Amino acid sequence: MPTLWIGTSWKMTKTLVEGRAWAEGLRDHLVAEHGGAAPSGVQPFVIPSFTATTTVAGILGEDSPVLLGVQNAHWEDAGAWTGEVSVPQAKDAGAQVVEIGHSERREHFGETVETTRLKVAAALRHGLTPLLCIGESAEVKDAGGSSAFILEQAAGALEGLSPQELSRVVIAYEPIWAIGEKGRPATVEELIEPFAALGAEYSGRVAGLLYGGSVNLDNAAALLGIEHVTGLFVGRTAWRLEGYLELLRIAQAHATA
C-alpha cells in the first residue's frame, strides 16, 4: 500500500488568527494521538495563503510530519516580477511543496501548460515537491475527452523530466466540474477511466496520484478505493480542522486495513 497523501489548500481563506488555530489544532492532535508523527501510512500536507506560510511553519516546527506548501510560485528565482513569489522565497519561508496549475489559476491568472512546465522545473531545481494539478472542463468531459485532455496537460508539464525527477512529482487530478461551490461531487464510476489512464502512464513513476474536487466525509473512503488513487487534495471539507482530522482518520483506516 503506497503512502496516502491527504492535504488541503486553504485557497484565499483564513486570517492569521484562524490559520494559527487550525495549525495549532493539527499539531496538538498529532502529538496527542500519534506521538507527534503522521498517522500510519499517511502523508499530511497543508497549503495556506502566502501570508500564513511562516506562521504555519513556525507552529508546525521543523521536524513536523506535515508538509507545508504554497499555492503558486514563479519559475524565475528572483527579479522584477511584481506581485509574484519565487520558489527560493517559498523555500525560505518554510515551504516544501509547490502547488502548480490549479484550474482556478489556469482560468483566472493565465496559467498555461508552458508555465506549469517551467514551474515544475523550478520546484524540482530547488528540491521542493511539485504538486501538479490537472483537470478537464464539463464540456471536455461531455465530449468524451477527459482522459486524453488530462494526459496532455500532464505530459506538457512533465516534459523532459528524468525518471528520478518524475519520481518526486505529485499529480492531483481535479476535474473542474467537481471543484468548489459550483461543482458537484464526482461518482466513483466517473473517476475509474481517468485514473486508469493516469495510472497506466504514471503509477509507480510519480510520488502520488491524488484526487480532488468536492471531497467530503461521505465520499472520501470510496474515492481512496479507486485503483491508482494514492491520496486526496481537499478544499472546503478540510478548512474546518475537524473535517481535516476526520479525513486523516479515514485515510489511516484505509492504509492500515
Ligand X SMILES: O=C[C@H](O)COP(=O)(O)O
Which residues are known catalytic residues? 102, 174
Q: What's the start-to-end Cα distance of the chain, in Å?
A: 10
Q: How far is the CB of 239 from ligand X (least distance, A)?
A: 8
Asked whether the beta carbons of 239 and 220 are under 8 A apart, the reply is no
Residues 145-184 that bind ligand X (CB under 6 A): 174, 179-180, 183
DSSP, residue by residue, 104-166: HHHHHS---HHHHHHHHHHHHHTTPEEEEEE---HHHHHTT-HHHHHHHHHHHHHTT--HHHH
Q: Identify residues 193-222 at the interface with ligand X (CB under 6 A).
A: 212-215
Taking CA 14 as the corner, what is the angle to CA 8 and CA 16, rounded to the nearest 5 degrees? 115
Q: Please, which residue, 147 or 214, has the CB nearer to ligand X?
A: 214
Among 173, 177, 233, 244, binds ligand X (CB under 6 A): 233
Which residue number is nearest to ligand X in terms of Cβ?
235
Q: Which is nearer to ligand X, 34 or 236 (CB)?
A: 236
* Rounded CA separation 250/257 (Å): 11
Total residues in contact with ligand X, by rule CB under 6 A: 14
Q: Give the one residue of 122, 169, 207, 234 binding ligand X; rule: CB under 6 A.
A: 234
User: Phi/psi at 233 (nearest 5 deg)?
Assistant: -120, 120
- Distance of closest approach, residue 229 Cβ to ligand X, in angstroms: 15
Specify the amino acid at residue 68: L
Only one of the segments 142-150, 157-165, 192-200, 235-243 lies at the binding site for ligand X (rule: CB under 6 A); that segment is 235-243
In the complex, minimum distance from the CB of residue 238 to ligand X, in angstroms, rounded to a whole number:
7
Residues that bind ligand X (CB under 6 A): 9, 174, 179-180, 183, 212-215, 233-237
